[in-house]
Amino acid sequence: MTLSQLDDTDLIDLIAQRNETALGELYDRYHRLIFSVALSVVGRQEEAEEITLDVFTRVWEKAHTYRSERAKVYTWLTRLARNRAIDVLRQENVRPMKYSVSWADVWPEPPANSDPPESAVQMTLQKQRVRQAIAILPNTQKEVLALAYFKGYSHSEIAQALDLPLGTVKGRIRSGMQKLRDLLQDE
């Protein structure tokens, strides 16, 4: 059986036995998630990259303390990332931004000569309208919409990451989308 076929808990057990290849496999599975969580809290890419490395260093050091009956590996890693990111902000004496997103980064700019100039202008205006509508939303709705639609998290992943009930996450997404529809139809 290869490492890629093992479940997360088995990988943690191997890491506790100082298996570097198992750590590499766990990193391959979760580094993007850890980076996203860290970036959502600190808001700066360089620090999020450092936090990601710190989390996997901590996994290497503390794998023997992991208890599968207390939390899934996914949840454990997410909490390690969030807590480490908050620690970084505390050291800087800054309040956490929680799961914020730079809405300017949501849509990449189109490649040159991809569409007629009129289409590019139309698209730019549409993006601006959406960003303005998003800015009006309450932060609680912004964060769940960002995680769901721009980070690709499932509802249950958002609930775990934000430590919220699943129903609350679904409600915030539904009400946020409805408010966006209303705001964009009014224009």
Higher-scoring residue by pLDDT: 101, 163: 163
Topology of the domain covering 3-91: Rna Polymerase Sigma Factor; Chain: A (1.10.1740)
Domain boundaries of the chain, sorted by first residue: 3-91, 105-186
Higher-scoring residue by pLDDT: 118, 179: 179
Predicted confidence at residue 59, as pLDDT, reads 95
Which CATH code is given to the segment(s) 105-186?
1.10.10.10
Q: What is the mean pLDDT of the chain?
A: 82
| DSSP notation for 106-172 | SSPPPPTTSS-HHHHHHHHHHHHHHHHHHHHS-HHHHHHHIIIIIS---HHHHHHHHT--HHHHHHH
> What is the amino acid identity at position 145?
L
C-alpha pair distances (Å), 8 with each of 65, 66, 72, 74, 102 = 15, 11, 8, 8, 31
Q: Do domains 3-91 and 105-186 have the same CATH topology?
A: no
pTM above 0.75, yes or no: no
Binning pLDDT at 50, 70 and 90, where does residue 87 land? confident
Which tens digits make up the pLDDT trace of 116-169? 666 667 777 777 787 788 778 888 888 888 778 777 778 888 888 788 899 999
